[in-house]
């Protein structure tokens, strides 16, 4: 791995993804969902970033862009290659895409849909090795067995040839983690990997992910709608609202000192698992919709308690550093 620690592992610039609405074959779409609009962030080597926000704000789309399941509408995604240089993979195709595929992986939300029901656990975990042509059959088997044991599926031999339906949700998610780690990636996008698991199982999977990422030096983007989970999983947190990033800071800073009015409302609404702590909810009006052809002003304006004429007549505010790497996109803070 590279020793180039001053460079970020991953750098995103002006990342955009617009989905056409209502168009069809041979028919131009007239509107676009601005699912991800002009994102900018870095993830350092071995670091972790939490991406939080409400349903439909573009978290999954961002994750899929980073692993290139989607091709960006615009913008750059730089990732360090084996030589430690930043390479733009935003529009990469073909063979060079395949080598990139060894460096990034993804873990999905639904453990019941992310494993092929007709393939054994071994088939699933070994798949990246097989399609990349890494190792002999014996070597693959050994590697898979060792990793299965590492993710807590012991003894590996009793799990390797089971089918997904014979596993519980937590075990499946461990399999998904093993599949993501089998080719030693440098970056993993984890899309709500624990949101469908029960509490008593969830912590095990969360701890495992953190341990393994630390051990193997993997950086990750942790997508979640749950701020409390992000607090435990990530060094830094970024908050998204309707395709835009509105605030980004180190985890404790963001939770203790949220600046953006949306982040404040979001944090104030999180229920606290302790009846002795009372919280004061900050109310914001309205609800989220889809960002279909949004006006060029601040995305949050319609619901913002601070918004005024200036916000209404200026473009979406840029992300600004308010000190110590605490970035906010708001004219009023």
Ligand X SMILES: Nc1ncnc2c1ncn2[C@@H]1O[C@H](COP(=O)(O)OP(=O)(O)OP(=O)(O)O)[C@@H](O)[C@H]1O
Residues of span 1-40 touching ligand X by CB under 6 A: 19, 33, 35
As measured in angstroms, the least distance from the Cβ of 49 to Mg ion is: 16
Per partner kind, with CB cut-offs from 5 to 8 A, the member of ligand X, another protein, Mg ion, none near residue 232 is: another protein
Is 175 among the residues that bind another protein (CB under 8 A)? no
Partner from another protein, ligand X, Mg ion, none contacting 208, C-beta within 5 to 8 A by type: another protein
Are 248 and 238 spatial neighbours (Cβ–Cβ below 8 Å)? yes
Count of H helices and E strands in the chain? 11, 12
Kindly tell me which residue out of 163, 297, 326, 333 binds another protein, with binding defined by CB under 8 A: 163
Taking the complex as a whole, the smallest distance from the CB of residue 21 to ligand X amounts, in Å, to 7
Cα–chain center distance at 32:
23
Footprint of another protein on 191-250 (CB under 8 A): 198-204, 206-208, 211, 225-229, 231-232
Rounded to whole angstroms, what are the CA distances from 327 to 17, 96, 136, 139, 219? 22, 34, 48, 46, 21
Please say which residue, 63 or 317, places its beta carbon nearer to another protein.
Answer: 63
Q: How far is the CB of 118 from another protein (least distance, A)?
A: 5
Encoding tokens for residue 280? 């004061």
With contacts defined by CB under 6 A, how many residues of the chain interact with ligand X?
13
Cα 144 to Cα 125: distance, rounded to the nearest angstrom: 7
Task: Give the up-direction half-sphere exposure of residue 220: CA atoms within 13 A in the CB hemisphere.
Answer: 31
Structure tokens at 301: 């304006």
| Least distance in angstroms from the C-beta of 231 to Mg ion | 19
Classified as helix, coil or strand, 217 is coil
Measured from the Cβ of residue 221, the count of other Cβ atoms closer than 10 Å reads 27
323, two tokens: 């000190």
Nearer to Mg ion, 45 or 229 (CB): 229
Site string for ligand X, 310-329 (x = CB under 6 A): --------------------
Cis geometry, peptide bond prior to residue 155 (ω within 30 degrees of 0): yes
Compose the 282-301 pattern: x for residues touching ligand X by CB under 6 A, - for all others.
--------x-----------
Instruction: Round to whole Å and give the CA distance between 333 and 326.
Output: 12
Q: One symbol per residue from 7 to 46: x for binding another protein (CB under 8 A), - otherwise; what is it?
A: ------------------x---------------------
Compare residues 50 and 53 and give the one whose CB is closer to ligand X: 53
Sign, Cα dihedral of 265, 266, 272, 275: positive
**Span from 59-67, 266-274, 277-285, 317-325 in contact with ligand X (CB under 6 A):** 59-67
DSSP 222: E
Token reading at 229: 């989970």
Give me 146's structure tokens: 């060792």
Minimal CB distance to ligand X: which residue? 60
Name which of 11 and 17 has its Cβ closer to ligand X: 17
Q: What token pair was written down for 69?
A: 């399941």
Residue 271 interacting partner from Mg ion, ligand X, another protein, none (CB closer than 5 to 8 Å by kind): another protein
Sites of contact with ligand X (CB under 6 A): 19, 33, 35, 53, 55-61, 225, 290
């Amino acid at each position: 791995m590279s020793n180039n620690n001053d460079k970020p592992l991953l750098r995103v610039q002006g990342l955009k993804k617009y989905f056409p609405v209502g168009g069809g074959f041979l028919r131009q779409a007239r509107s676009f969902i601005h699912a991800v609009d002009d994102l900018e962030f870095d993830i350092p080597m071995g670091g972790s970033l939490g991406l939080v926000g409400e349903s439909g704000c573009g978290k999954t789309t961002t994750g899929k862009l980073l692993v290139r399941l989607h091709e960006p509408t615009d913008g750059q995604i730089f990732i360090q290659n084996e030589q430690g240089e930043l390479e733009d993979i935003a529009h990469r195709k073909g063979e060079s895409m395949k080598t990139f595929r060894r460096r990034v992986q993804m873990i999905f939300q639904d453990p019941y849909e992310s494993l092929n029901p007709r393939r054994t656990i071994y088939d699933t975990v070994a798949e990246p090795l097989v399609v990349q042509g890494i190792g002999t059959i014996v070597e693959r088997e050994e590697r898979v067995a060792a990793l299965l044991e590492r993710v807590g599926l012991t003894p590996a031999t009793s799990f390797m040839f089971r089918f997904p339906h014979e596993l519980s949700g937590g075990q499946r998610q461990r399999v998904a983690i093993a599949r993501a780690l089998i080719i030693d990636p440098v970056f993993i996008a984890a899309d709500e990997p624990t949101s469908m698991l029960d509490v008593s199982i969830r912590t095990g999977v969360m701890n495992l992910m953190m341990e393994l990422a630390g051990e193997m030096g993997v950086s990750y983007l942790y997508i979640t709608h749950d701020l409390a989970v992000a607090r435990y999983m990530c060094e830094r947190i970024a908050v998204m609202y309707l395709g835009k990033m509105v605030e980004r800071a180190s985890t404790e800073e963001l939770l203790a000192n949220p600046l953006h009015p949306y982040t404040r409302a979001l944090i104030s609404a999180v229920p606290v698992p302790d009846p002795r702590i009372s919280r004061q909810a900050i109310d914001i009006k309205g609800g989220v919709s889809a960002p279909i052809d949004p006006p060029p002003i601040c995305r949050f304006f319609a619901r913002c308690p601070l918004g005024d004429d200036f916000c209404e007549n200026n473009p979406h505010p840029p992300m600004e550093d308010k000190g110590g790497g605490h970035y906010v996109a708001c004219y009023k803070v």
